[in-house]
Chains A and B, each alone.
Chain A
Amino acid sequence: MDALMAYLDPGSGSMILQAILGGVAGVVVALKMFGRRVFSFLTFWKRDDAAAAAAESKTDS
């Protein structure tokens, strides 16, 4: 499918805005998307904390 992708870069922010602007259905799409984003954002932080803690314990030893 991606071989047929548009020659024009639609812009990530512009695509997300279209979901938000789409009214009721759009809000559902946006919530799902943002839900996923928020989720990955949190997991990202957790991973980051763990990595930092690992780094700290290394310098301690």
Chain B
Amino acid sequence: MSRAGVEPGSFRDPDSRVLVSDEGVFRVLSEAGLADWQALAESELFERAVADGSLIATRPANGDSDALRGAETALADPPAAVLRHDRIPFVSYPYEWTFGMLRDAALLELDLLLASLDEGLILKDATPYNVQFDGARAVFIDVGSFERLREGEPWAGYRQFCMQALYPLMIQAHRDIALQPLLRGRLEGIPPTEAARMLSGRHRLHRGVLTHVVLHARLERRYEKSAGDEVRGELRKARFGTELIRANARRLRKLVSRLEWKPGASAWAAYRTTSTYTDDDASRKSKFVRAAVDRVGPSLTWDLGANDGVHSRIAAESGSYVLALDSDHATVEALYRSLRESGEPRVLPMVADLADPSPGLGWRNAERRPLADRGRPDLILCLALVHHLSIAANVPLAEVVAWLADLGAPAVIEFPTREDPMVRRLLAAKREGSHPDYDRERFERLLEERFEVVRREELGSRTRHMYEVGPRG
């Protein structure tokens, strides 16, 4: 039995820390954290939010479990209590989400903030990292974020909400600047002064920019040297009340829900309709994938280059949980919306450039983990991707095959030949005669070195080849 390890992303809150082991996900609480948890557990909000799935199911843990030995040293003081959480199938981060996903996460936080105010509670912070996605459904996971309300104090999470949710959403919506690199570049988010520079000129005319961004930046500069406790004291004297927090949260909610991002002409969003596939090729490809899914019976499938998610859905139909990864934001956004509409519960869409995947970030590069450290696939779908990695991203073909083999799972791989129209388009952008390694015979040789080839099929158009492979040994 493994000892529970402290989750490196949870150290910032001194009253609550997360431990993860094979047995489950646990939360260690300090005395103050325990009192806050008891207040939450008795609230109607808790029962309601757990029942509708917007809050992670949580209960007191069995204190003498072996997995809890790590709990003793998890906090500065001996723990007052340990809770057990339901597990989220796969962890994702805001810099891997689409605009719509970040917006829904932000709205969930505001809804929980408003609901908690009604019951004498408040959220002590407002980071979107407190939200995870179970499929395409946002779930609030940081039960330790609820605390008892202290009358007369403003919401401590407001600034963080602006920096990590509101500003990235505004900048994507109003300026069409991708939010993922901004959030990946700085875990704390975008400070008000920088957001004000990015939303300058006519962009200030958009709703909420003058107040939440421009005025916010000015006040921050103006009161830079003011001590927080003095300001808090003055606000209390001036009778700052919970009603103000409620009114602000309501207005923020309205503002966020009205933000819309209209993606520009994306090369991929129209892919399915303009792609070079014939209907026959597409249906044979789906059949090939289905057979592999049935044979392997995966519980976690990675669909690399998922596009509109047609193959992700095939894997999900068989009961697998699926990561649908694609580098194009607009494509993943379209997928997220369609998953929400169809109510598909097992596909998690993520914006991920596989030639530049999420690294370890934050303190000791361990607060936010690289993709492959968060769980390994039982089945890999790698369709219409090899040519993009090999030609567009200049990854040698041997490297692409080695990477797939290192993931350690059976895979379905598609290889389009040099005669394929899409490959010709990619090669046309390069110097004549470049990428001589991109060749089917060579690819098959590499494949056979690292995998057992279970099955192969040439699609009707004769420029696309499908392979089902299993790890060697």
- Residues facing B in A1-43 (CB within 8 A) are 1-2, 4-23, 25-26, 28-30, 32-33, 36
User: How many chain A residues have a CB neighbour from B under 8 Å?
Assistant: 30
Determine if B157 and A13 form an interchain contact, defined as CB atoms under 8 angstroms apart.
no
| Given contact pairs A12-B227, A17-B219, A33-B238, A25 touches B157 in the complex (Cβ within 8 A) | no
| Given contact pairs A12-B227, A17-B215, A25-B243, A6 touches B156 in the complex (Cβ within 8 A) | yes
Main secondary structure of the interface of B (DSSP, over half): helix
Contacts of A21 in B (CB 8 A): 211-212, 248, 251
Determine if A29 and B235 form an interchain contact, defined as CB atoms under 8 angstroms apart.
yes
Selected contact of A18 from candidates B220, B239, B248, CB within 8 Å:
B248
Q: Measured between C-beta atoms, what is the minimum distance from B362 to chain A in Å?
A: 16
B369 CB-CB contact with A under 8 Å = no
| Given contact pairs A16-B231, A33-B234, A10 touches B154 in the complex (Cβ within 8 A) | yes
Contacts of B220 in A (CB 8 A): 11-14
- Residue on A with the closest CB to B251? A21
Question: Which of A2, A7, A21, A25 has the largest number of chain B CB atoms within 10 A?
Answer: A21
Q: Measured between C-beta atoms, what is the minimum distance from B222 to chain A in Å?
A: 6
Determine if B154 and A8 form an interchain contact, defined as CB atoms under 8 angstroms apart.
no
B288 CB-CB contact with A under 8 Å = no
Selected contact of A17 from candidates B12, B125, B216, B251, CB within 8 Å:
B216
Q: How far is the CA of A11 from the CA of B251 in the complex (A)?
A: 20
- Residues facing A in B230-262 (CB within 8 A) are 231-232, 234-235, 237-241, 243-245, 247-248, 251
- Residues facing A in B102-127 (CB within 8 A) are 124-125
Contacts of A28 in B (CB 8 A): 238-239
Determine if A29 and B156 form an interchain contact, defined as CB atoms under 8 angstroms apart.
no
Selected contact of B231 from candidates A15, A20, A22, A32, CB within 8 Å:
A15
B158 CB-CB contact with A under 8 Å = yes
- Residues facing A in B1-32 (CB within 8 A) are 12-15, 32
Contacts of B216 in A (CB 8 A): 13-14, 17
User: How many chain B residues have a CB neighbour from A under 8 Å?
Assistant: 47
Selected contact of B158 from candidates A2, A5, A18, A29, CB within 8 Å:
A18
Q: Measured between C-beta atoms, what is the minimum distance from B401 to chain A in Å?
A: 46
Determine if B241 and A14 form an interchain contact, defined as CB atoms under 8 angstroms apart.
no
Determine if B32 and A13 form an interchain contact, defined as CB atoms under 8 angstroms apart.
no
Q: Measured between C-beta atoms, what is the minimum distance from B72 to chain A in Å?
A: 21
Determine if B251 and A29 form an interchain contact, defined as CB atoms under 8 angstroms apart.
no
| Given contact pairs A4-B150, A10-B156, A32 touches B238 in the complex (Cβ within 8 A) | yes
Q: A residues engaging B (CB < 8 A)? A: 1-2, 4-23, 25-26, 28-30, 32-33, 36
14 extra A-B contacts, CB within 8 A, seeds A8-B125, A29-B239, A29-B244: A5-B229, A10-B159, A13-B192, A13-B216, A15-B154, A18-B248, A22-B248, A23-B247, A25-B247, A26-B244, A26-B247, A28-B239, A29-B235, A30-B238
What are 30 A-B contacts defined by CB distance under 8 Å? A1-B150, A4-B150, A7-B14, A7-B124, A7-B125, A10-B158, A13-B218, A13-B219, A13-B220, A13-B223, A14-B162, A14-B219, A14-B220, A15-B231, A16-B235, A17-B158, A17-B212, A17-B215, A18-B245, A19-B154, A19-B240, A22-B240, A22-B247, A23-B244, A23-B247, A26-B244, A29-B238, A32-B238, A32-B239, A33-B235
